[in-house]
Chain A
């Protein structure tokens, strides 16, 4: 089903307001800051293009998670089951963005998003949200993206496998199928640490009761469960029955994805649709001996081994001509975006591994692999 939010559904008054807000006159009157920078002082959601959402409900299913229901502004174009959004949150003054998959069904996606955030032991955003999320809080959103989606032509038989917080996109797929009254067999297999940390328990029970074609099984890695150990052929048969054939979706840590892919391959079943995530990199120990890793210049599609020099010089050695000025970390002219990787600041000695961070190339030395938006 295509994204449900559509401009033809909006009332005429809203279209008029949008027309005025986007008008050239208003742009000229609010030059150079633009309409949004004034409108948002009145209402944080009133923007011409950017997507923002207000938290309307906060639920804590488990001690290590928080479920937020968001009401997006009118720029939100809805999502397809399985996609993710980038959520921007201010944590101790810094705007951080993390990808989360809405867990709600497609049918409700125009008006509401449900996000379940599981805390990561060192996660700044996840822990901040678990501790401080409250109704009325406003977050930035990107439009929905990702290829881990339920195809428009629904497969007859579906198997949804997830580990930990990977449950969210498959919940979206499951809820969508249930809302549609999907008749074909659906298997839902989730691995969690223990029963008290498992998400959506009551709802999954309810859905299983209401839908005879749905079979839900759970495995607990640190607790008693019917399915012990890692994913294997037995687990597959337990949830799908022997001789099963269908479309498999798996979302979870690389180990789970690997196991599922292997088992399906052994059984000559079609490979799964996969979504996986890796933890943010920890800053590697600074190696005084020599430079390791590779520097990739994403926009120019070039790469070079890390020579240990500051990134400005490494970029210039690679044939690029980034803007620069004082070459001593003061004037900010060489400030560029580090997409990923760790850098050490020569002025402060500090290392930083945050993704999507602006750094001054002239005083930043890469530690290991680094990707720059240059």
Chain B
């Protein structure tokens, strides 16, 4: 990848950072009862959907009950994972002092232990966003999602690995912090990961017990319907989460960075990288809630600790600032953004047919508007 050229001067970057800081301060000053009431409402809906879904599945031998139950349970798991779990664990509601909303204590309805996710996501991914070699969300250690990742024949299966990751996404996320690609490469001994493996197994075991043994058995004759419904609900959540999450940093136009160029980053440069490394999704209010407001990936990466339902309110201000500084604001409907991600996965499954991009090729290749001309 040719070295990144910052489109803004250091002075501009500083002002850029200050303007964004001001937006953050504005939201923080406004946080109050409405925000707590909102998240408590979402939680109440999620718990209600869960109880209703599991209840309906007990009558899953009736097709409408099975469909309704599976749908409700899927929605419950999606809400728990995204609008509630992801956002609460970012510490977005720590200011409330409510232990039930504590970022460091919250545990979510999915295979990944919350502690490990907090480390790999809050710390690693958000600090080193889109830095190749440091942000392991670039490919999760199983996919090739960057031209800078050297090609290997294994990557011919890029699309297949992506499909498998999508189907079993909750387990992919659960194993993410292990850095299994480093274990396989011999860099890390598996015995060093014993504690983490134990923690993962503890979580996976409890989830399997709940979804695939206890509820099915409790339902008596409805056993196969409850089991199928729970499998389907987990699958639905996996596919939905994968889709939304992969649209966050991979659609055409998103940029990646090297370790070198991001050393000793200023705050303005940090904001700059977060902006250009992220992409939004357009949609209605319900879509945004189900996406955990990760459809506002840009705003989320600029302000990870602001309650996510606030992103919609500040999106226009953020977009206006980026326009004034001549920077790209990457957004588009789900099908287009995800389509470009799938094409990228396919493209990166093949080795580059030529060497590093020539200046002419760089000029023709899709780039954000902010990049200085080569």
Task: Give A residues with C-beta under 8 Å from B.
Answer: 25, 28-29, 31-33, 37-38, 41, 90, 92-96, 325-326, 328, 330-333, 335, 347-348, 356-358
Contact between chains at A333 and B210 (CB < 8 Å): no
Cβ contacts B286-320/A at 8 Å (1 or 0 each): 00000000000000000011000000000000000
Q: Enumerate 20 A-B pairs (CB-CB under 8 Å) in ascending A order.
A: A31-B207, A31-B209, A32-B109, A33-B47, A33-B109, A38-B47, A38-B51, A92-B32, A92-B33, A94-B95, A94-B97, A95-B97, A95-B98, A325-B122, A328-B127, A330-B127, A331-B304, A332-B305, A348-B24, A357-B97
Contact between chains at B104 and A93 (CB < 8 Å): no
- Nearest 7 Cβ contacts at the A-B interface: A325-B123, A332-B91, A93-B36, A32-B107, A326-B127, A95-B97, A331-B123
How many B residues have CB within 8 A of the partner chain? 47
Q: B303: nearest residue on chain A (CB-CB)?
A: A330
Q: B99: nearest residue on chain A (CB-CB)?
A: A95
Known: A32-B107, A358-B97, A358-B102. A332 touches B122 (CB 8 A): yes
B259 shortest CB reach to chain A, Å:
15
Tell me whether B103 is interfacial, beta carbon within 8 Å.
yes
A276 shortest CB reach to chain B, Å:
26
Contacting residues, chain B, for A28 (C-beta < 8 A): 206, 209-210, 214
Taken together as a complex, chains A and B put the C-alpha atoms of A94 and B95 apart, in Å, by 7
Taken together as a complex, chains A and B put the C-alpha atoms of A95 and B90 apart, in Å, by 19
Tell me whether B212 is interfacial, beta carbon within 8 Å.
no
A335 shortest CB reach to chain B, Å:
6
Taken together as a complex, chains A and B put the C-alpha atoms of A38 and B97 apart, in Å, by 20
Number of A-B residue pairs having CB atoms within 8 Å of each other in the complex: 96
Contacting residues, chain B, for A29 (C-beta < 8 A): 210, 214-215, 218
Task: Give B residues with C-beta under 8 Å from A.
Answer: 21, 24-25, 28, 31-37, 44, 47-48, 51, 90-91, 94-98, 100, 102-104, 107-109, 118-119, 122-124, 126-127, 203, 206-207, 209-210, 214-215, 218, 270, 304-305
Known: A32-B109, A330-B127, A330-B305. A335 touches B104 (CB 8 A): yes
Contacting residues, chain B, for A326 (C-beta < 8 A): 123, 126-127
Taken together as a complex, chains A and B put the C-alpha atoms of A41 and B207 apart, in Å, by 22
Contacting residues, chain A, for B31 (C-beta < 8 A): 93
Contacting residues, chain A, for B98 (C-beta < 8 A): 90, 95
Contact between chains at A330 and B96 (CB < 8 Å): no
Contacting residues, chain A, for B102 (C-beta < 8 A): 358
Contacting residues, chain A, for B37 (C-beta < 8 A): 93
Contacting residues, chain B, for A331 (C-beta < 8 A): 118, 122-123, 126-127, 304
Contact between chains at B126 and A330 (CB < 8 Å): yes
Known: A325-B122, A348-B28. A358 touches B47 (CB 8 A): no
Contacting residues, chain A, for B47 (C-beta < 8 A): 33, 37-38, 41
Specify which of A93, A96, A325, A348 lies most central, judged by the most chain B CB atoms within 10 Å of its CB. A93
Taken together as a complex, chains A and B put the C-alpha atoms of A141 and B127 apart, in Å, by 39
Contact between chains at A335 and B103 (CB < 8 Å): yes
Taken together as a complex, chains A and B put the C-alpha atoms of A92 and B24 apart, in Å, by 19
Contact between chains at A348 and B94 (CB < 8 Å): no
Contact between chains at B33 and A330 (CB < 8 Å): no
